[in-house]
Amino acid sequence: MMASPAAYAMIRRFESLRLRSYLDIKGKWTIGYGHKGDDVGSGMIIGLADAQRYLEEDAHFVEFQLNRMILRPVDQWEFDALISLGFNIGTEALRTSTLLKFLNFGEMKKAGEEFLKWNKVTLPNGKKVVVPGLTSRRYLERQYFLTGKMDP
């Protein structure tokens, strides 16, 4: 499967577009729509086309990984919600999650409830804190995963 425009809309909704690199809440250099990596550092400035390219490359990586992890058929909206989640938390975290286990056993309601557990960030000092923006994002992803609707 591939991410649909809805997956990109969810990502853009919660990943602020920043054309100048910045340190995120975890102290990682970030640019564009939440792009991180060895290619991002202090003082970087990119254009909109580069931000879009990073977004697409990052989403394609998540797609590839999800297509290897998901062991049962899923609907497009379920896949899109997982793209948004995986884009944000990383595919390794998703691969080892209870959410994926429930999904692969076909327990979709239980899998949907697991989205809400991913609303914390671990700070460089090891402390986990709830982030209101992540809570909002997880509620939207959960709703979309379970219903195919982004807005109530």
- Does the annotation mark 15 as catalytic? yes
- What are the tokens at 109? 């309601």
**Are 62 and 83 in contact, with CB atoms under 8 Å apart?**
yes
Within 8 A by CB and 6+ apart from 20, the residues are 31, 44, 45
11 HSE (CA, 13 A, CB side): 28
Among 5, 8, 143, CA closest to 78: 143
Cite the active site residues.
15
